[in-house]
Every structure is written in structure tokens, then in C-alpha cells.
Amino acid sequence: MVTANPTSAATVAGLTGGVAGLAAGAAARRLLARLRRGTRVRAPVCELAVGALWAVTGSLWGSGRLPTAWLPAMLGLGWLGVAAGLVDARHRRLPDALVVPAACLAPLSLLPLGLGAVGRGLLAAVAAVLGYGLVHLLRRAALGLGDVKLAAPLGAVLGTASWSALAIAAVLAAVITGLVALLRLCLSRGPPPAVVPHGPSMLAAAWLLTLATAAGGG
């Protein structure tokens, strides 16, 4: 009986994920160009970004560290992170054409984890929307309505991973946004730069925390 080499399996899965990510990234770039509130991105920015995230996800799955049931959620989160993150970083907006479908598809991506996980994800999504909605009401200049909507799909996936991941991701996103704002202020030679969009930080924190929690066995 021949036992597969875990390193070889991780390499193959990573390469496969990367190639698939290149195709998914190309689809994201074309979609963003067609959306009314999207953006035009030069190739191969989307392709390389999605390809890298999917390669990491595939490699961890191939090594046995990431359960198969988490693949749909992680791949979808990576794709959304690139597509929505690019629009928000460039234009300070999160298109409903991306965020609303993501809020509907996120619970479906959790189905391989079981109905209990879906229920926990829906509850976490509500909690995330309420939390971000409160911050939006208190300080609209720092947190837009698009960020509140984005909290739904991200909260669903994070809450399924663990409640602590949901809370830590919110803090991590705020830290990332603060660091980016500080860096821009230090590098700016003219008037103070505009408020840093929070969506990319939310997406990055959600991907990192979900992957770390799912691959770490909770």
C-alpha cells in the first residue's frame, strides 16, 4: 500500500487552486468592468490576487489542515475579498451587486458544515450587522452603509468558525484601517488624505481569521 506524501499533495492542491484562482480572478475582473458601480482593473491584478488566495487555501486543504467542508466558504471569501476590496479601495464604495448576493450565498457555502453551522452563521450575521450598524449610526464618516451590509456575509462565515473569530476580526479590521490611515498621513505631503475605506480591512481580517480558525481546528 502506497501512502501519499502530504507535501506532494499540498503542492498539487496548491497549484490546482492557484490555476483555478487565475480563472476566477479573470471572471471577477470582467464582472467588475460590467457593473454599473464597479471598476476597471488591469490584468493580471485580479487573476494574481485570487490565484494567490486560492493557492494558499488549496495547499492547506491538500495538507489535511483545512477540512473539505470549509472549501466553499474559503474560496468564496477569497474571491469576494479581491473583487469588493478593489472597488472599495479605489472608489470608497461597496457595490450592492457584490455584497447582496454574497450575503445570500454565504449561508449556502456553509451547508457542507451542517445545518447547525448554517444556523450559527445566520445568527452571527445578524449580530455583525447590528454591531456595525450601531457604529455607522454613531460615526457615519468612518463606517459606511456598505460596510454594514458587508458585515452580513463576513459575519456568517466568521461566526461559524467561532464567536471569538467574529470579535477578533472586528478589532483586527479596525487596527488595519488605523495603520493604513497613519501610513497615508505620514507619506502625504499635501492636505490630509481622505478617510481610508474600511471594507478592504474587514475582508482581509475575515479571510485571515476564518482560515486560521478553520485550519487550526477551531
Every domain of the chain and the residues it spans: 6-215
Lowest mean pLDDT across 68-77, 154-163, 190-199: 190-199
Distance CA 54, CA 71 (A): 10
Contacts of 7 (CB under 8 A, 6+ apart): 63
Look at residue 141 in the predicted model and tell me its pLDDT.
79
How long, in residues, is the chain? 218
Structure confidence at residue 2 (pLDDT): 38
Q: Report the C-alpha gap between 160 and 166 in whole angstroms.
A: 9
Q: Evaluate if residue 147 carries a pLDDT over 80.
A: yes
| Per-residue model confidence (pLDDT) at position 187 | 85
pLDDT tens digits, residue range 172-199?
999 999 999 899 888 877 666 678 899 9
